[in-house]
Amino acid sequence: MQALFCMDMSCTFSKEMLGEYCRSFSPGEPMPPFFKHLVNGIIANRNHIDTIIEQHSSNWKMRRMACVDRNILRLAVFELLYCADIPAKVAINEAIDIGKKFGSPESGAFINGILDSIRLAIDQGRLNRQTEPPLEVDATPKVGNGG
């Protein structure tokens, strides 16, 4: 979530920005595979994810949402759509917990409402989980002066 927040605040969702984030706030060496999968997948599929979030949020445009909430939602929606091994309940509960920790007092309820609507759409077949892996963006941070 913090890497997404950083990219969102800089208005740059790219492998270069992810590399910069990792150089500044290393998630570990080498970059953990699940971290890379999540962030690269969100970067590659952000427009689709954002559209789904807006379709399931009553009168909320992405730009009006708090940056923390917006990126927690992106993370959870990616898990709901592209990570079949993560139960929906787990993805939603983790998102709510992160929202309560890093967001406003209303974040948990706000996030829960949107994610539950998306989960219901998946359960009812109105929204399909993706069977193919998301597009991957190579965001391996470069080391050294040349970047």
pLDDT in tens, 25-76: 765 566 678 888 888 899 899 999 999 999 999 888 888 999 999 999 999 9
pLDDT class of 147 with cuts at 50, 70, 90 = very low
Question: pTM of the full predicted structure?
Answer: 0.81
Residue 49 structure tokens: 């994810």
CATH (domain of 45): 1.10.940.10
What is the Cα–Cα distance from 88 to 5, expressed in whole angstroms? 23
Is residue 71 in a domain?
Answer: yes
Please count the structural domains in the chain.
1
Give the type of residue at 17: M
- Average pLDDT of the chain? 84
What is the Cα–Cα distance from 40 to 42, expressed in whole angstroms? 5
Is residue 140 in a domain?
Answer: no
Is residue 139 in a domain?
Answer: no
Q: Which domain holds residue 106?
A: 2-123
Question: Tokens 């998102």, residue?
Answer: 95
Neighbouring residues of 41: CB distance < 8 A, sequence distance ≥ 6? 78, 82, 133, 134, 135, 136
Is residue 145 in a domain?
Answer: no
Is residue 135 in a domain?
Answer: no
Is residue 143 in a domain?
Answer: no
Is residue 128 in a domain?
Answer: no
Is residue 138 in a domain?
Answer: no
Percent helix, strand and coil across the chain, each to the nearest 5? 65, 0, 35
